[in-house]
């Protein structure tokens, strides 16, 4: 049988320093970064970036302190990328920290990781005030150090360039966001990370002509590996988004071609396209154009760029690929974006895998699947039930070294060379992984039925009046386990619907308003329940006043919000 895809060619590398050096040799005069200065994106070549990395490394090198632990904390920016690379190219272990962390959390991580130096953005300076005995250097001061180091290199210093690198020792210590519990320190080696990069690049084609708009936080391994290191490996360009509210403008300014996203961001983008079409009265015309174009695609003609030029131009005119990760996404969103000429895929990963465990190939994909395993890795299902659903386990060279100073926790998840992910799913006949939920989130009824909250959350999210939701198990007065939905509505849509019935929306605490909202969602849930087996039906629901507390990668912090007090609900 003819293979349905081919692996893209990649050059072999053994560590991140070799990644950088070989890319500089191949792409030295090409643009590595678009750095925003004085209100405009300015190009930084691979040669210039390499000079800055080496300069900072030479300036920070201290022969009295080998195997250093250096934290990097701040918003996505060029100096974050210089700092990270300078550390991993010989200085020691990099500890990326979420800039949204509290001062106490940062202090704890710095202590646990035995950090000796913090490279940081000016914006987080206040959070570091309580940390003593650690050197702190602001990004705004790094240029001075870079020039100092560059002078040392020009004078003949070779100490930094000659520092040894062991590909199999820890080079990155990454503390997970902990959506379901206490954060752990994940230890990754050069080998883990470069294996991950090479495997990803075999599955998705990235070329030097590509420009990545970096939106997700760089301390997270998804953006760091796939939106930073892999981009440099392929000779492409990175531009940093200023903030979420400027994504569209930054796409236009940079002419970006690729963007890594989380489902919430992609779903919001897709909803806005259709909301704008509806407001302008052109939704019907857009649907007809999609139908015509999809018919033409079957005979090899794709007029997406012409038929949907206005939409493409709104996002810079060159955006070709969107890759979603972090959680499952509505497959209709992926298909809908593809209908408009944007290739959209999803993948699956964990920090413990640096992060790739599965991704849909750009030439072979399923919208309802998390993807295929990397070419030189394996996925399997542990203890599957009668439907083939069980715990997902993964095997590959990108599996972490372990949790930092937590041997028992490491032994729980790495057994016989397999990483037990804690996620539940099944693998179909074509090898695609389908995820059904988190093992820790499964609701078990009194008669032994398993209910996956993510499935019900998916159904709830199909209603445009629901911005986000969380499904949990609750206990009824008779002791039975019942399903409870916690819903955060799109109040703009809800208020428009309620106002159309003549009910005032200016006082959300009025009984009439609250009853109207609850009745609206009660009807929605009743309609949904009619389509579900009895044991999966939602018996209780709560309407939130404000959005859920989330991690910086837009995952709901489930453990913090399962029990909502009266002040937080409508």
Domain boundaries, the chain: 17-165+210-256, 261-439, 442-568
Residues 402, 298: Cα–Cα separation, whole Å: 48
CATH topology for 442-568 is GMP Synthetase; Chain A, domain 3 (3.30.300)
SS3 content of the chain, % helix, strand, coil (to 5): 40, 25, 35
What confidence score (pLDDT) does residue 437 get?
Answer: 83
Q: 502: Cβ–Cβ under 8 A, 6 or more apart, which residues?
A: none
Q: Do domains 17-165+210-256 and 261-439 have the same CATH topology?
A: yes
Strand partners, 35: 42
Nearest one of 296, 430, 280 to 368, comparing CA atoms: 430
DSSP 150: H
Residues 123, 99: Cα–Cα separation, whole Å: 9
What confidence score (pLDDT) does residue 192 get?
Answer: 98
Task: Per-residue pLDDT tens, the chain, 570 aa: give them.
Answer: 456 888 999 999 999 999 999 999 999 999 999 999 999 999 999 999 999 999 999 999 999 988 899 999 999 999 999 999 999 999 999 999 999 888 988 999 999 999 999 999 999 999 999 999 999 999 999 999 999 999 999 999 999 999 999 999 999 999 985 434 457 899 999 999 999 999 999 999 999 999 999 999 999 999 999 999 999 999 999 999 998 889 999 999 999 999 999 888 898 899 899 999 999 999 999 999 999 999 999 999 999 999 999 999 999 999 999 999 988 888 999 999 999 999 999 999 999 999 999 999 999 999 999 999 999 999 999 999 999 999 999 999 999 999 999 999 999 999 999 999 999 999 999 999 999 887 777 786 655 566 778 888 888 988 999 999 999 888 777 767 789 999 999 999 999 999 999 999 998 889 999 999 999 999 999 999 998 878 789 999 999 999 998 877 677 877 656 555 555 677
56-74 in b/e burial notation, b at 16+ Cβ within 10 A? bbbbbbeeeeeebbbbbbb
CATH topology for 17-165+210-256 is Rossmann fold (3.40.50)
Asked whether 178 and 549 are in contact (CB, 8 A), the reply is no
DSSP 543: E
Q: Which CATH architecture group holds 261-439?
A: 3-Layer(aba) Sandwich (3.40)
Phi-psi region of 352 (alpha: psi -120 to 50; beta: other; left: phi over 0): alpha
**How do strand 117-120 and strand 135-138 relate by DSSP bridges?**
parallel
Phi-psi region of 200 (alpha: psi -120 to 50; beta: other; left: phi over 0): alpha
Strand partners, 137: 119
94 φ/ψ angles, rounded to the nearest 5 degrees: -95, 140
């Amino acid at each position: 049988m003819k293979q349905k895809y081919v692996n893209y060619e990649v050059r072999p590398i053994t560590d991140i320093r070799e990644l950088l050096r070989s890319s500089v040799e191949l792409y030295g005069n090409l643009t590595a970064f678009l750095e925003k200065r004085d209100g405009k994106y300015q190009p930084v070549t691979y040669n210039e970036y390499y000079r800055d990395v080496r300069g900072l490394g030479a300036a920070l090198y201290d022969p009295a302190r080998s195997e250093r632990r250096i934290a990097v904390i701040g918003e996505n920016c060029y100096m974050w990328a210089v700092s990270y690379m300078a550390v991993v190219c010989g200085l020691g272990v990099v500890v990326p920290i979420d800039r949204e962390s509290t001062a106490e959390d940062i202090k704890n991580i710095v202590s646990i990781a035995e950090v000796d130096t913090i490279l940081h953005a000016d914006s987080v300076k206040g959070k570091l005030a309580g940390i003593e005995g650690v050197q702190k250097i602001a990004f705004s001061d790094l240029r001075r150090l870079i020039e100092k180091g560059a002078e040392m290199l020009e004078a003949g210093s070779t100490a930094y360039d000659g520092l040894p690198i062991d590909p199999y020792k820890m080079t990155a210590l990454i503390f997970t966001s902990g959506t379901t519990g206490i954060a752990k320190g994940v230890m990754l080696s050069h080998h883990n990370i470069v294996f991950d990069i090479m495997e990803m690049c075999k599955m998705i084609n990235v070329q030097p002509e590509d420009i990545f708009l970096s939106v997700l936080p760089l301390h997270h391994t998804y953006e760091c590996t796939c939106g930073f290191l892999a981009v440099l490996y392929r000779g492409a360009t990175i531009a940093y988004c200023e903030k979420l509210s400027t994504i569209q403008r930054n796409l236009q300014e940079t002419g970006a071609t690729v963007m890594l996203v989380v489902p919430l961001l992609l779903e919001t983008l897709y909803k806005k396209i259709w909301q704008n079409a509806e407001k302008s009265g052109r939704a019907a015309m857009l649907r007809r154009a999609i139908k015509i174009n999809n018919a033409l695609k079957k005979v090899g003609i794709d007029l997406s760029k012409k038929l949907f030029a206005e939409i493409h131009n709104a996002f810079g005119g060159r955006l070709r690929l969107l890759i979603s990760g972090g959680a499952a996404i509505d497959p209709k969103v992926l298909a809908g974006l593809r209908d408009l000429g944007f290739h959209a895929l999803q993948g699956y990963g964990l920090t413990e895998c640096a992060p790739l465990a599965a991704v849909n190939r750009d030439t072979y994909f399923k919208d309802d699947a998390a993807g295929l395993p990397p070419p030189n890795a394996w996925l399997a299902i542990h203890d599957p039930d009668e439907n083939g659903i069980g715990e997902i386990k993964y095997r590959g060279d990108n599996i972490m070294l372990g949790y930092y100073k937590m041997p028992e926790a490491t032994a729980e998840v790495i057994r016989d060379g397999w990483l037990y992910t804690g996620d539940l799913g099944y693998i179909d006949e074509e090898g695609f992984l389908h995820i059904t939920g988190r093992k820790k989130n499964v609701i078990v009824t009194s008669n032994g039925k398993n209910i996956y909250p993510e499935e019900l959350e998916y159904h709830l999210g199909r209603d445009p009046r629901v911005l986000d939701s969380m499904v949990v198990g609750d206990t009824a007065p008779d002791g039975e386990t019942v399903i409870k939905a916690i819903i955060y509505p799109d109040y703009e849509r809800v208020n428009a619907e309620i106002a159309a019935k003549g009910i005032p929306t200016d006082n959300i605490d009025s009984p009439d308003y609250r009853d109207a909202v609850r009745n609206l969602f009660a009807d929605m849930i009743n309609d949904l329940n009619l389509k579900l087996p009895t044991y999966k039906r939602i018996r209780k629901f709560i309407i939130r006043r404000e959005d859920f507390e989330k991690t910086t990668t837009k995952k709901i912090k489930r453990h913090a919000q399962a029990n909502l007090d009266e002040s937080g609900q409508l």
